Amino acid sequence: MEGARLWNYSEMDALEEENRKLSQELARQDIIIEDTSNIGPENALQSIHDARHAELIAANLKHSLNGLIYKLFKGDDKEPLKVRWINARFPFTSPSYEVEVFHKGKWLELLGCGVVAQSTLDNSGFAFPHCIKNEIGWAFGLGLERIAMVLFQIPDIRLFWSEDKRFIQQFEPNKITLFKPYSKYPTTVQDISFWFPLVPKGEALLHENDFCDIVREVAGDSVEDVKLVDDFAHPETGRRSQCYRIIYSSMDRILPHKEVNEVTREIGERITNIFGVEVR
């Protein structure tokens, strides 16, 4: 993702006032900003720029991005958010900066930014002559995928292009949910259904948690998920039936169908012996 903002030279007083307000707002936030960047021979102002104008633009860039980073990373962490600015070198900005954020015990490179090279604005003015004239601005670029990998603890950037529902369904809008690893090997799905014995009304039957416990005892880590998919009561006899769907998946190998069938058979025997059900 890239972003930029331009100011007309006639707006410098308004820019200075905006910087003052942004600085005051940041001072009220739980953020520690370590700025080791400096303007000098290796990270110079552009000779075509008025020094005051360029410094105001650079300050606005820093205030704006510090606010953005705070909203992205602060969350519910009780510790202050730590942000670090360092000098950098990019072909289309000067002075240029890199921004790092301290997250999960280490500094992470987050984005690059700087005051836009005036030659870049001048060249773009051929296409937009009325928009770029007498303007100065800043720009930044960051990888949204990299930020998402940090916030959601996603280990492989290729997952963002996956159509696997096991990945997609883990996330929902406006909520940060930590990624739960799943097997790269194909899943095997088996259903097991059974009739309950006729019991007096109100007497406890096989509870869903009981069934899941038995599945885990028999199948161990080879089961990815267990869910109740049908709960039926016969309209005439009142006899009750349930069907559970078991999703098998190994993290390190393909499970043979013969092995899965044997595990499902053993689960059926176990619930029959313990709860007196009749596997269908």
The structural domains of the chain, ordered by start, are: 2-142 (3.30.930.10), 188-279 (3.30.70.380)
Q: Tell me, what amino acid is at 278?
A: E
**Does an H or E element contain 195, and which?**
strand 188-195
* Residue 218: partners with Cβ closer than 8 Å, 6 or more residues away: 263, 266, 267, 270
Confidence of residue 173 (pLDDT cuts 50, 70, 90): confident
> Which pLDDT does position 194 carry in this prediction?
94
Separation between Cα atoms, residue 189 and residue 187, nearest integer Å:
6
Looking at per-residue confidence, does 66 or 239 come out higher? 66
Mean pLDDT of the 250-272 span: 92
Residue 202 pLDDT > 60, yes or no? Answer: no
Looking at per-residue confidence, does 165 or 158 come out higher? 165
Mean pLDDT, all residues of the chain:
88
- The top-scoring range by mean pLDDT among 8-22, 117-131, 137-151, 178-192 is 8-22
Residue 82 half-sphere exposure toward CB, CA atoms < 13 A: 10
- In this predicted structure, which of 68-77, 81-90, 176-185 has the lowest mean pLDDT? 68-77
Residue 228 pLDDT > 80, yes or no? Answer: yes
The phi and psi torsions of 144 (rounded to 5 degrees) equal -60, -35
> Which pLDDT does position 138 carry in this prediction?
97
> Which pLDDT does position 75 carry in this prediction?
65
Separation between Cα atoms, residue 35 and residue 86, nearest integer Å:
7
Assigned token pair, 32: 């520690």
Confidence of residue 131 (pLDDT cuts 50, 70, 90): low
> Which pLDDT does position 236 carry in this prediction?
85
> Which pLDDT does position 180 carry in this prediction?
87
Assigned token pair, 137: 């601005």
> Which pLDDT does position 258 carry in this prediction?
94
> Which pLDDT does position 85 carry in this prediction?
97
Confidence of residue 192 (pLDDT cuts 50, 70, 90): very high
Residue 127 pLDDT > 70, yes or no? Answer: no
Mean pLDDT of the 28-57 span: 93
